[in-house]
Amino acid sequence: EVKLVESGGGLVQPGGSLRLSCAASGFTVSSNYMSWVRQAPGKGLEWVSIIYSGGNTYYADSVKGRLTISRDNSKNTLYLQMNNLRGEDTAVYYCAGGSAYYYFAMDVWGQGTTVTVSS
């Protein structure tokens, strides 16, 4: 069974930091493209970042310079390092991925982890 499990969310003050993790099973993080997608309360989906199998990374303009995507191939885990957090970063964060078979659509999703940025 393919499974992605996020962790690391929580309450953090503005300007603070948090690291999200996404542990994969039945699915190889390093062989596929992996993204973080977030959803603010009551809002739609917003793509945050992607890491390709080759290691290239890209970010939405709204998070560039503050959030960093990475992976640990030995642990089959994806990460999102979040620095200098703002209130507008409050959201459920999903990790998602897929293979080139799906033309870069995201066919595997985690259950999400909630990040709340508030003083």
Is residue 114 within the footprint of another protein (CB under 8 A)? no
- Residue 89's nearest CA partner among 9, 6, 21, 23 is 9
H-helix or E-strand containing 50? strand 45-51
Is the CB of 33 or the CB of 79 nearer to another protein?
33
Grouping H, G, I as helix, E, B as strand and the rest as coil, residue 4 is strand
Q: Looking at residues 4 to 63 of the shown chain, list those that interact with another protein (rule: CB under 8 A).
A: 35, 37, 44-47, 50, 58, 60-61
Is the CB of 13 or the CB of 48 nearer to another protein?
48
Q: Where does residue 61 rank: exposed (0-12), middle (13-18), buried (19+ CB within 10 A)?
A: exposed
**Chain residues in the site for another protein (CB under 8 A):** 35, 37, 44-47, 50, 58, 60-61, 94, 96, 98, 102-107, 109-112
